[in-house]
Structure 1
Amino acid sequence: MNLEDLANKLVLERESDRLQPLDDSFYEQAAAYVKRLDQARKEAADYKEAGMIDDEIKNARILIEGVFDRRMSKIIQYAAIYAAGTRLSVEGLTAAEKAVFDGLVAALERGRAGILLPALDVSPKASDDALKVRLAKNILGGITTKEQPIESSAALSRDAGSMDADTELMTVKVLKDIPRFVGVDGRQYQLSGDDVVVLPKANALVLCNKNIAIPLHNP
């Protein structure tokens, strides 16, 4: 392992909203790398060489922490979505990160059961579908309702041209089933995994940021 390896890992993590492949032993390898540098600094022939090695150690620690922070931010986001009822397939976790993810999900689910559901006057034993509808606003940034007609993905694609000209649109592919929600255009949406739809850009970006959909192209 060297600085270039660490920098490449960080760039990959920053360029994607998804967790990138990472060896289970990554942090152990990183620790061994820093330890080797520290030993080399102690054995340096002069202050100049020691200073150069010291700079490499500092840069290595910055990169390692950057990779950790970026991956943890994604894991926290995944856990929040998962605990809200959207069972995403979370891939790319190391064994240690999987333990963190499971712990976060468990803590968030306890928090919802003990704090949110009593405030909503919802029994913890309420059906999953009912909870998903109530909590869709948290996931999608929209307001759920049962009174408005539901737009299917086919109808959405067909009617995209008739939307308000002021509404900026975005085409996305849906990765998972999504609870019913109302977009910023006032329409109600109910989407399934693998649907390709045109949505208001504000809602589409929320879905993409939550790793529930991926952008395709603007219509």
Structure 2
Amino acid sequence: MDLDELQTVKDTEREKDSLQHLPDSFYTDVAEHIESLKEDRKDRAAATDDPFDDPEVQRLTGEIDSTEQVVESIYERRVGKLVKLASFAAADMPADEEGLTSEERDLFSDLVARIKENRAHVLDVLAGEVDAETDGEAPTEAGETADVPAGPEPESEPESADPVEPEPDPGHEPAPGPENVPEPDGETSVSAADLMGDGSETEEAMPANAGAVTDDAGTTAGTASEPSADDGSDEETSAEPEPGESDGVGRATLRITRDVGEIVGVDDREYDLATDDVVTLPEANAGALVEREAAERLE
């Protein structure tokens, strides 16, 4: 079988509405012919110095490609006719099975069986003998239908528990610092950065031996010593340098109007500020407290 014979088969198949009779081993014979052409091309390529430019190698390559294209065209045209023939046979109509190759005969038998099975099922659905919704259920070995198990449902992520805040250790006090300044409810918070000031305000230093200041209630402030624990008075913090010292920072005397807590002034000193305390603070810190209505000046 060569390319000319295959071209004749193709032309005949195109002209006829029915399948032309082909040998049972038609496709096997074509496959052997193509393999023979490939062997000839391989031998010719090995015998020449430049196989890519050799005319005989190019001729064999063209014949191989043409043969494959022609036989594929023959198969596609015959399959279309084969499907129509199988539909006739499934409907118990006469169908000529002569002239089919072995590969086409296997396809024909499979198509007839599938068409008959599908046709019977559709008729049962139309007659109400089979529920159309059960179509697609996997059959069991006993011929019964069983639901196809669905995939496992995704596990829902457990709801995250509310974080439990650790209880403070009664024996451990938090380290003093600006972050521990309490923030009263409903009032504007006073941050440590605000109380530190920007250092842009400078005034003349207050004399080291400045006298104490007395508020309206007669509480005395301005001394560096802490009040004794048994006098019952509110703790007051001195903002003045020790006698004989001068830190060169401008200061102002204030009455604290709400609890602020511990802060570190621009003079690197710690101040524990509570309501009604009278203190002398660096001007930068004093101005920040007054602006946020956490203190009032006594000057």
TM-score, normalised to structure 2, is: 0.38
1:86 match:
93
The answer to whether residue 96 in structure 2 is matched with residue 118 in structure 1 is: no
Q: 2:61 aligns with which of 45, 48, 54?
A: 54
Contact in 1 for aligned 2:23/2:100 (Cα 8 Å):
no
Deviation readout 1:93-141 (Å, 9 max, x if unpaired): 2233222211110011111112x213432779xxxxxxxxxxxxxxxxx
Contact in 1 for aligned 2:34/2:67 (Cα 8 Å):
yes
Deviation readout 1:174-216 (Å, 9 max, x if unpaired): xxxxxxxxxxxxxxxxxxxxxxxxxxxxxxxxxxxxxxxxxxx
Runs of 5+ consecutive residues of structure 2 not aligned to the other structure: 131-299
Q: Which has the larger radius of gyration?
A: 2
- Matches of 1:8 and 1:99, distance apart in 2: 25
Q: 1:102 aligns with which of 92, 109, 124?
A: 109
Structure-2 change in CA distance of 1:34 and 1:89 (3 Å): closer
**Pairwise CA distance, 1:34:** 0.4
**Pairwise CA distance, 1:26:** 1.2
Contact in 1 for aligned 2:10/2:74 (Cα 8 Å):
yes
Please tell me the residue identity of whatever aligns with 2:82: I
**Pairwise CA distance, 1:24:** 1.1
Please tell me the residue identity of whatever aligns with 1:15: E
CA RMSD of aligned residues (A): 2.0
**Pairwise CA distance, 1:62:** 0.5
- Secondary structure of 2:92's aligned partner: coil
Structure 1 runs of 4+ with >4 Å offset: none
The answer to whether residue 10 in structure 2 is matched with residue 3 in structure 1 is: no
Structure-2 change in CA distance of 1:94 and 1:122 (3 Å): farther
Deviation readout 1:45-81 (Å, 9 max, x if unpaired): 3323222211111100011111111111111111112
Runs of 5+ consecutive residues of structure 1 not aligned to the other structure: 125-219
Q: How many residues align?
A: 123
1:28 match:
28
**Identity, % of aligned pairs?**
33
After superposition, residues 176-187 of structure 1 pair within 5 angstroms as none
Deviation readout 1:140-174 (Å, 9 max, x if unpaired): xxxxxxxxxxxxxxxxxxxxxxxxxxxxxxxxxxx
Please tell me the residue identity of whatever aligns with 1:110: E
- Matches of 2:129 and 2:92, distance apart in 1: 15
1:71 match:
78
